[in-house]
Structure 1
Amino acid sequence: MMNIIFLCLGSRGDVQPYVAIGKTAKESGHNVTICSGKTFKSFVEQNGLDFQACSLDLMEILQTPEGKQIFEEGMKHPIKSIRYARRVINPLYRKTMTEFYEACHAKDVIVYHPKAFGAVDIAEKLGILCISMPPIPIIYPVSEFPNLAITTRNLGRFLNRLTYKLANLGAESNNIKDINHFREEELNLKKRKSGEYTINRNGNLIPIIYPISASLFTDTKEFKEKVYLSGFPMLDDNILLDQETEEFLKNGQKPIIVTFSSMPLHDSESFLKKIADSLLAGGNRGIIITGNSGIKMSSDKNLLMKEFIPHDAVFGRAKGVLHHGGVGTMAAALRSGIPQVIMPFNVDQPFWAKRLFDLGYALKPLKESDSEDEFASRFAEMNNKDVIFQAERIAAIIKQENANRKAVSYIERLYKEWDKCNE
């Protein structure tokens, strides 16, 4: 039996893989704690896991007008974003490191999100195993494609690998002063350089789990050798759909789902009209999951507007899905076995849009500015037998991966090896 703690910061999409794997770990006899922002307390505890709150709560920050503006328009106002980070985010990070340290006492294994600064430093102080689990392939240098945070353009094998080193060096740069203060004042450790513990810990490679499907990376040699791909974790929470959604699904042909989560649209009113018209042009019904995208419209007999619907509960009952390309939404779309098209916004989304299109698992990506005809064309392609066959084929592969169990088994194996080396 292990005492495992998962340190994770971010959105629901960031936290859910840890909860899914943690739930399976508990079912396997281990003690599991999730340490994250208090927004996720009920979500974690409803899944039977222990919860420890930390001060840095991204979802709470996004509810504030200033935080929402920085998240949506940060690239347009870099100076303002930097000042906000120094005034609001960095002090919360510093406080969170102390809370992480307190939560990690009497634990055997730390599994951490890259945003959880201080995780490796805490593991060093406590002399315990730590495992990096980024939700997207953004840490370990590979030659097949560049770091997603820098570019999606293939720069060649050498430069592709270099982008990871550059990104890793800068990953903690805004917080290294606070990290070193934490190391000196609370951990009694010497200062270190920014990025020093991104993939190595005192000269040894930190184990890395990517909770993504190996079937999407059969050409990536470095993953096979240095990184463990567990598959996409699945949280089997048996959520029932609300009555309005159930009635809509039962009373007509399968709809096309449109969802962009928290991604902000440039002109939500104009875009919504384009979506509605392009669905109507092909004789399609639709469900639009608005999230925080700014979309506002009333439902009618052919178009249902909902703020939130669990993706795994509804995708499998749809004709197809148009989404933003967030890894969690993409995984749910792949599992569902229905055609998908991605309209990416930022970060890893353009990467997934291109990769799934290249592999034949998604239609050609769209942009918000594309014409109504372009959207109608993609919706029409969802009727294509070859497109449907490819969607069903990758779904069958992913469903057989047993990702949660594989991740837990890998953690168990790493702990046994660690324990043996430190006897």
Structure 2
Amino acid sequence: MRVIMIAIGSAGDVFPFIGLGSALILRGHQVTLCSMPAFQRTIEARGLDFVPLCDEATYTAAMGDPRLWDPKTSFGVLWQAIAGLLEPVYDYVTAQDNDDTVVVGSLWALGARIAHEKYGFPYLSVQVSPSTLLSAHLPPVHPTFNVSPRLPLTLRKLLWRGIEYLSLDRTCAPQINALRRKHGLPGTVKTIFSQWMHSPQGVICLFPEWFAPVQQDWPQPLHMAGFPLFDGGTLGLDEQSRTFLDAGSAPIVFTQGSTEHFDHQFYRFALAALHKSGARGIFLTGDRPVISDLPPTVMQRPFLPMSSLLPRAAGLVHPGGIGAMSLGLAAGIPQIVLPIAHDQFDNAERLVRMGCGIRLDLPLDSQDLQGAIAALLHDTHLQKASLRASSLMPADAASCETAVKAIEQCHARHSIPRLRQAS
């Protein structure tokens, strides 16, 4: 079986597909991952074939646009980037020999969804986080629009329909329907987020039910697979990092994830909080310049493999991406989350509900960070809840196996001998 995977987005969107693709290769399947050029080296290092969906400059410009990280403008800016990939994804998928092939697409692989409508090849859609699974029963948390779970269910349903029609559909439907018309598909699509974007052949959720309980208005059929826990690392910790960890108490890890939105003031606040608490720290800062005058109790690195680092940490501070959060849960350490945009607000809310973390809002107040660091180090309720979550993770060690089986079953049920028009 050949699996064509399309993963559009930042590391939190792409890394789960790399982990899943690696598991598929171990089962003897051929895997092609169509994604962003920034991840080519990591993808190919795991033995997956790589196909770029855009050039490096386009991806860098999109990720570096400050409007993408402003909750007031993020969705519209994000959609313009996604809309530019609709036709390239459609063209690539339909140009392949679909005999013995399953296509697996991330949230924004909508060109593949249109191709599936046209030709009916086996197709599964994937959710790496629960925020875009719209539900009136347990509404996800968003930075700019929210439906209170305290409202009557009937009113919640009406509000979600209004949000989807007035905001989501109005933004996304014109380009989607234009491409559908171009390829001879009848009618127009609506209720894009609640219905159309999800494959009718199945949706794989790469998170466990204890993190996001299944809601009765989520799409079906649904496969709850759990966290893949892929962190992009190919080696363990280097000697310098091991020496630092061995030299004292477990540090608090600060990471800005795959994007760079923690400014100089944030690290100044972090240093003050560490000094006041007497804790050590590790700053994972990506391509940021070296921070001057760090004390010997704090180490700065561009990147370290989180799956190796976090089990030796006292806590984790990050923006709330699903990748870092899941690795923190696996390590059994409490977390401080500072959401900026997109799914981070919903992820933070779910972590807080579980009792495993603290959410702080931006702009950050230094006293708030100091209080949160103190709680992270000394609050036994936070620590016990985090350990309980970690104890649930062994059940998710087979998360990729669950997803792989769903893909194999989709292939067995829906395989077609040649590319043909579904209608």
TM-score category (smaller protein): 0.7 to 0.9
Partner of 1:410: 406
Tell me what 1:280 maps to.
Answer: 275
Aligned twin of 1:305: 300
One-letter identity of the residue aligned with 2:12: G
Which position in structure 2 is the counterpart of 1:145? 138
TM-score, normalised with respect to structure 1:
0.83
1:304/1:197 CA distance change after superposition, 3 Å: closer
Change (3 A) 1:210 1:118: same
Letter in 1 for 2:148: N
Per the alignment, residue 60 of structure 2 pairs with: 63
Give the CA deviation at 1:43: 1.6
Q: 1:158 maps to what in 2?
A: 154
Deviates more, 1:376-385 or 1:308-317: 376-385
1:376 to 370, 379, 386: 370
Offset from partner CA, 1:231-289 (integer Å, 9 cap, x none): 101338552223332221122211111112255547x2322221101111111010111
TM-superposed CA distance for 1:337, in Å, is: 1.0
2:342 counterpart SS class: coil
Matches within 5 A, 1:262-277: 262-263=258-259, 265=261, 268-277=263-272
Q: Which residue pairs with 2:249 in the alignment?
A: 253
Alignment of 1:380-399 (within 5 A): 380-381=374-375, 382-399=377-394
1:335 to 330, 335, 347: 330
Name 1:98's counterpart in structure 2.
Answer: 91
| Contact 2:7 2:35 survives alignment (8 Å) | yes
Alignment partner, residue 135 of structure 1: 128
Q: Partner of 2:65: helix, strand, or coil?
A: helix
Measure, in 2, the Cα distance between the counterparts of 1:114 and 1:276.
37
Q: Which residue identity lines up with residue 343 of structure 1 in the other structure?
A: L
Q: 2:347 aligns with which of 349, 352, 355?
A: 352
Return the alpha-carbon distance in structure 1 between the equivalents of residues 384 and 314 of structure 2.
13
Deviation at 1:371, TM superposition (A): 3.7
Residues 390-399 or 226-235, more deviating: 226-235
State the TM-score, normalized to the length of structure 2.
0.83
Tell me: CA distance 1:197–1:250, structure 2 relative to 1, closer, same or farther (3 Å). closer
Native 8 Å contact 1:275 1:375 kept in 2: yes
The CA deviation at 1:374 is: 2.6
> Cα–Cα, structure 1 residues 89 and 320, in superposed 2: closer, same or farther, change >3 Å?
closer
Q: CA deviation at 1:166?
A: 5.1
Matched residue pairs, number? 410
Kept after mapping to 1: 8 A contact 2:254/2:284: yes
Task: Give the conservation status (yes or no) of the 8 Å contact 1:263–1:292.
Answer: no
CA contact (8 A) 1:342 1:353 kept: yes
Asked if 1 retains the 8 angstrom alpha-carbon contact of 2:336 and 2:360, the reply is yes
Aligned partner (choices 215, 226, 238) of residue 210 of structure 2: 215
Task: Output the amino acid matched with 1:306.
Answer: R
Aligned partners of 2:79 and 2:137: how far apart in 1? 33
Residue 119 of structure 1 is aligned with which of 112, 120, 129? 112
Task: Report 1 or 2 for greater relative contact order, CA contacts < 8 Å, sequence distance ≥ 6.
Answer: 2
Residues 128 and 205 of structure 2 are in contact (CA less than 8 Å); yes or no, is this contact kept in structure 1? yes
| Structure 1: gaps spanning 5 or more residues | none
**Residues 31, 215 of structure 1: alpha-carbon distance in 2 compared, 3 angstrom cutoff:** same
Secondary structure at 1:52 match in 2: strand
State the secondary structure of the residue aligned to 1:118: helix
Q: SS state of the match for residue 271, structure 1?
A: helix
CA distance in 1, matches of 2:89, 2:187: 19
The reply on whether 1:40 has 2:33 as its aligned counterpart is: no
Residue 10 of structure 2 is aligned to residue 11 of structure 1: yes
Q: Which SS does the other structure have where 1:215 is aligned?
A: coil
Instruction: Measure, in 2, the Cα distance between the counterparts of 1:376 and 1:201.
Output: 42
Q: For 2:195, give the aligned amino acid.
A: I
SS in 1 for 2:60: coil
Change (3 A) 1:201 1:239: closer
Alpha-carbon offset, residue 397 of structure 1: 0.5
Please give the secondary structure, in 2, of the residue aligned with 1:131: strand
Conserved 8 A contact 1:131-1:207: yes
Deviation for aligned residue 1:119: 1.2
What RMSD in Å do the two structures reach over aligned CA positions? 3.4
- How many Å apart are 1:312 and its aligned residue? 1.5
Match of 1:25 in 2: 24
Partners of 1:201 and 1:16 lie apart in 2 by 21
Displacement after TM superposition at 1:62 (Å):
5.1
Stretch deviating more after TM superposition (61-70 or 247-256): 61-70
Cα distance in 2 between the residues matched to 1:223 and 1:151: 19
Percentage identity across paired residues of the two chains: 23
1:296–1:355 CA distance, 2 compared to 1 (3 A): same
Native 8 Å contact 1:34 1:51 kept in 2: yes
Partner of 1:54: 53
In structure 2, distance between residues paired with 1:225 and 1:189: 23
